[in-house]
């Protein structure tokens, strides 16, 4: 895919699961300092792993989804395989994020 697609509407978030696709979802916020540290690495990873589509959700635009997904700290990531959440990660470490995204 090459770039994280911003999700700004609930229907687009739900489509990730109904389409049964593989995805990495990044929960972030423009005001989040730690998110700014890990965002460049997330962008690079979207070019390295073609098995997943990469999405990002901003806390200020998608607060209801953050609450529904029980995301209370950011940056937070969820891995979706065939429409099901299979793993999640809370980290500001670019190396930990890389290993998590690239592991099979």
Is there a contact between 76 and 89 (Cβ–Cβ < 8 Å)? yes
Q: At what angle do helices 94-102 and 33-48 cross, to 10 degrees?
A: 30
Mapped onto helix, strand or coil, the DSSP state of residue 91 is: coil
The residues assigned a catalytic role are 32, 35
């Amino acid at each position: 895919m090459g770039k994280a697609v911003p999700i700004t509407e609930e229907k687009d978030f739900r489509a990730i699961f109904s389409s049964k696709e593989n995805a990495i979802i990044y929960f972030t916020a423009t005001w989040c300092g730690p998110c700014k540290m890990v965002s460049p690495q997330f962008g690079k990873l979207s070019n390295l792993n073609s098995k997943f589509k990469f999405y990002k959700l901003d806390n200020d635009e998608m607060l209801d989804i953050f609450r529904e997904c029980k995301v209370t700290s950011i940056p937070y990531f969820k891995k979706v395989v065939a429409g099901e959440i299979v793993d999640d990660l809370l980290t500001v470490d670019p190396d930990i994020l890389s290993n998590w995204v690239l592991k099979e």
